[in-house]
Structure 1
Amino acid sequence: MQIFGVDIGGSGIKGAPVDLARGDLAAERHKVLTPQPSTPDDVAECVREVVEHFNWHGPVGVTFPGVVTGGSTVRTAANVDAAWVDTDAAALLGGRLGGVPVTVVNDADAAGVAEMNFGAGQGRKGTVIVLTFGTGIGSAVFTDGVLVPNTELGHLELNGHDAEKRASHKAREDGDLSWEHWARRVEKYLRHVEMLFSPELFVVGGGVSRKAEKFLPLITKVRAEIVPARLQNNAGIVGAAMHAAQHRS
């Protein structure tokens, strides 16, 4: 069975049909830049463009980079326009897509569910934390495979700032930081999260996971096992489709 997944990020919006039996994309993903400003209407138009690229007319699962409650309502919007707050995202996107069923889920939660089912967290018990390093830092916390939704650990304080302002991949790029310098920031962040949650495993995802060999070996002062996400930057798309499949009426 295939369902379409869309991953809305602070810098890009990407999507593809997903083969739910394999937990992988069924076609090469299509990506567009996140509009600036990233208002609900403008982002919805980009989502429509991604979906129509595949001439898709069935259910669509969508991730959002913020807290999503009640399966539809956006509560925070740190890396997209503040006009998203209190928006019924499923209704907005469903209308823009011609009335097809749409579900919406936090982006890191979607990526985490995909990694726990098909990726680096598969079969792991205890506390597992999936972190996505991109425009911000997304988090998904699991205890014996059960998700604690909307944790938003990227907004923990680090050196007087939101952690994602110091340790996201965007912070590395904006500051032109070396991999060594950035790894020290990531390590400090991971140690803080470890102090709070004592996880057995960190799964590091987001686009930067493709370059895990450049920074993960430099992180040596964290007790938990640290591994790169197996689905890399496709995890959000896969998780969005899984969420849609689970909530089909």
Structure 2
Amino acid sequence: MAKHGNPLGIDIGGSGIKGAPVDLATGTFTAKRLRFDTPQPSTPEAVIDAVAKVVEHFKDEIGDAPIGVTVPAVVTHGTVRSAANIDHGWIDFDGELALETKLGRDVTLVNDADAAGYAELHYGAARDEFGLVILTTLGTGIGSAILYNNLLVPNSELGHLEIDGNDAEKDAASSVKDALGLSYEEYATRLQRYYSVLEALFSPDLIVVGGGISKDADKFLHLLELRTPIIPATLQNKAGIIGAARLAAEAAGVKVKPKKG
């Protein structure tokens, strides 16, 4: 008889591959997170082998529960269409099918920022927020997720908006702040321009700011002048795992009971 456990979320990043089973009622891990260094080069074959090790580690915990995997790339119908911080061999590679073939089970492959946004919507900073929510992750580049009335609009790539003739993330990613040695006040000027354009284009109800720099949100978010409320993400580096697990469960038809309280 098949054993039903908690869904597994796995987050593939440029430096690490992290995974944990997730309690979908609370959005919390049910076992200690496991991490492996991302193989170098990060070819599909090498990364999928590492993912298989994560699945093997948690096999007793997850049983036949769904598995969700994030990748730092655009994903359409399981096929990877770009390669941010991973090997270019992923481009036009059917990652979902390859994972399912390797693991012998259903897998849902999603963009990492989309997974993070979905987690923040259901368990984090944007919990219970209806209407239009935009999450941006400030890091090496700028990732984004668009969420409307609890639905995910995938692969938005709002870090690549052209603003003042430049790719937005070339001016406003947190890596630019670090590379140029900008103060938070100087960096906020760049963020003001970026978020003003985002606001003008989408008129969102809420903007959530994620990425590692979000832990220092009190140093720069108050410097921004926007009509839209803008708040820091709360799930930090757990968001991708949590969101991937939930998206996989929903794709498998699992009914998620809302958290009480």
The answer to whether TM tops 0.5 is yes
Give distance in 2, aligned partners of 1:120 and 1:227: 7
1:82 and 2:88 are equivalent in the alignment: yes
1:63 and 2:63 are equivalent in the alignment: no
Contact 1:10/1:34 (CA < 8 Å) preserved in 2?
Answer: yes
* TM-score in terms of structure 2 length: 0.85
Partner residue, 1:167: 172
Partner residue, 2:51: 47
The sequence identity of aligned pairs, in percent, is 54
Range moving further from structure 2, 193-202 or 138-147: 138-147
Counterparts in 2 of 1:35-184, with a 5 A limit?
35-55=39-59, 58=64, 59-70=66-77, 72-96=78-102, 98-184=103-189
Partner residue, 1:212: 217
1:7 and 2:31 are equivalent in the alignment: no
Give distance in 1, aligned partners of 2:240 and 2:31: 15
Counterparts in 2 of 1:164-243, with a 5 A limit?
164-219=169-224, 221-243=225-247
Quote the offset at 1:54 in angstroms: 3.8
Report how many residues are paired. Answer: 246
Deviation string, structure 1 residues 129-182 (Cα, Å, up to 9, x no partner): 011222321111122332222111111123433222222233333333333332
* TM-score in terms of structure 1 length: 0.88
Work out which of the two has the higher radius of gyration on C-alpha atoms and give 1 or 2.
Answer: 2
Contact 1:127/1:201 (CA < 8 Å) preserved in 2?
Answer: yes
Gaps of 5+ in 1: none
Moved over 6 A (4+): none
Contact 1:9/1:34 (CA < 8 Å) preserved in 2?
Answer: yes
Give distance in 2, aligned partners of 1:95 and 1:34: 20
Contact 1:9/1:135 (CA < 8 Å) preserved in 2?
Answer: no
Quote the offset at 1:225 in angstroms: 0.3
Quote the offset at 1:197 in angstroms: 0.5
Range moving further from structure 2, 188-197 or 46-55: 46-55
